[in-house]
C-alpha cells in the first residue's frame, strides 16, 4: 500500500533505524549526503552495499544484504536503479522491515505488485530528505 502524507509523517516521526541500500562511500553522491542528513536528524543508518561490505561508511558497518542487518529496520531507503527494485522487494518481504522507500526517480510496477501482494507499506519516486523537510520542518 502506497502511503499518504499523514502515514508518511507518522513513519518519519516514529522510525529509528533506516537501512540505506546502495549507500556510497563517496561524500559527493546523493546516497551519502542523504544518509548523513538522516543521521543528523537522529536516525541510525545501516549501510547496505555488497561491494563495501565489512567496511565503514558514516561510522557504521556496511552489510552485504538487508538480511544481514542485525537490528530491526523501520525504513529501507533504496538508492538503486529501478530495474533492481523487484529483487530488493523480494528480499524486503522476507524481513520485518516496515517501509520500503525508493528514492526520487526510482519506481517499478513489478516491485509495487510484490509489495502489495505481501501487504507491505511502500513509497516510490520520493526523496526521504525532501519529505522529511516538507512534513516535519514546515
Mean pLDDT of all residues in 99-118: 96
Mean pLDDT of all residues in 63-76: 96
Mean pLDDT of all residues in 16-21: 98
What DSSP designation does 63 have? B
Is residue 2 over pLDDT 70?
yes
**In the chain, % of residues over pLDDT 70:** 99
Pairwise CA distance, residues 86 & 108, whole Å = 7
Pairwise CA distance, residues 117 & 100, whole Å = 14
Tell me the three state secondary structure of residue 70: coil
Amino acid at each position: 500500500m502506497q502511503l499518504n502524507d499523514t502515514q508518511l509523517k507518522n513513519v518519519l516521526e516514529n522510525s529509528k533505524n533506516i537501512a540505506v541500500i546502495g549507500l556510497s562511500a563517496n561524500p559527493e553522491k546523493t546516497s551519502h549526503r542523504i544518509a548523513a542528513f538522516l543521521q543528523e536528524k537522529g536516525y541510525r543508518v545501516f549501510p547496505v552495499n555488497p561491494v563495501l561490505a565489512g567496511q565503514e561508511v558514516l561510522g557504521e558497518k556496511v552489510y552485504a544484504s538487508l538480511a544481514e542487518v542485525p537490528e530491526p529496520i523501520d525504513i529501507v531507503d533504496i538508492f538503486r536503479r529501478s530495474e533492481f527494485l523487484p529483487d530488493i522487494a523480494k528480499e524486503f518481504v522476507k524481513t520485518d522491515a516496515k517501509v520500503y522507500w525508493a528514492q526520487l526517480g526510482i519506481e517499478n510496477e513489478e516491485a509495487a505488485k510484490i509489495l502489495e501482494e505481501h501487504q507491505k507499506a511502500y513509497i516510490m519516486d520520493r526523496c526521504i530528505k525532501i519529505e522529511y523537510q516538507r512534513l516535519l520542518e514546515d
